[in-house]
Amino acid sequence: MSHSTVLITGANRGLGLGLARIYLEDGWNVIAVNRSSSPELEALRNGSLEIHCCDLTDDTQLTLLADTLDSRAIDVLINNAGRMAKSGADESAHSVQGFGHFDRALWHDIFDINLFTPMSLSELLVENLARSERGRIVTISSMLGSMALNTHGGIYAYRASKAAVNAIVKSMAIDLAGRGIIAIAQHPGWVQTDMGGKGADIDVETSVAGMKSVIDGLGPGDSGKFFSYDGSEMAW
């Protein structure tokens, strides 16, 4: 009996590492794709985990990765790798991304990993996903990408990148429906990671357990929606 397969980007730390761990514990084959590995990810190595290191913003390297996976079915693609956009040693995303601090190069870097990489990988792996009877594209978004929930302003680049993620997910859900592929955006909660900070609401284990439960339960009618880790539907 073949095991289900999930591909997770940015699985070397934080949410991605937590997702890799919980899928492995559930008996899935996990393909971890990262810029580099980590001791924590290496410690999970077994017959069900394979690690690919490449520049996630280099389409030539992503194409080579897709070529190595050419004949394999992928049940779930989780576009997790992302960047909040802190600059150097500055710990305040608000000061870096506030009004009056536009930095074209920084914005490009944020959109490159948060938006362009999920778009590229989804296209490159669509045939792998179509080989599965339950192909799913899950792209990590954020409540900060919600227009309706924006009551504080600021964090321009990150907010804009995640609003754009929501837009591409909605279109993918429509364009890939005929191939049986479900596409959703998912808010992982405010999580205690390097990106979320120690003061965040929930730990990684709570977030990834909820996210996996949502992903496991997806049906065709859920495609194109924006879900929180707890299963609630988020406002656009």
Q: Looking at the annotation, which residues are catalytic?
A: 141, 158, 162
**CA angle at residue 160 from 125 to 101, to 5 degrees?**
130
User: Can you list the pairs that 192-200 forms with residues at least 24 positions away whose Cβ atoms lie under 8 Å?
Assistant: 193/13, 193/14, 193/15, 194/13, 194/14, 195/14, 195/82, 195/84
Burial of 70 (0-12, 13-18, 19+ CB in 10 A): exposed
Q: Which structure tokens are listed for 110? A: 């944020």
Helix (H) or strand (E) run with residue 95 in it? helix 93-97
Q: Which residues of 20-29 are buried (b: 16+ CB within 10 A; e: fewer)?
A: bbbbbeeebb
Q: Which residues of 156-176 are buried (b: 16+ CB within 10 A; e: fewer)?
A: bbbbbbbbbbbebbbebbeeb
Say if residues 126 and 181 touch (Cβ distance below 8 Å). yes
Gap between the Cα atoms of 130 and 113, Å rounded = 24
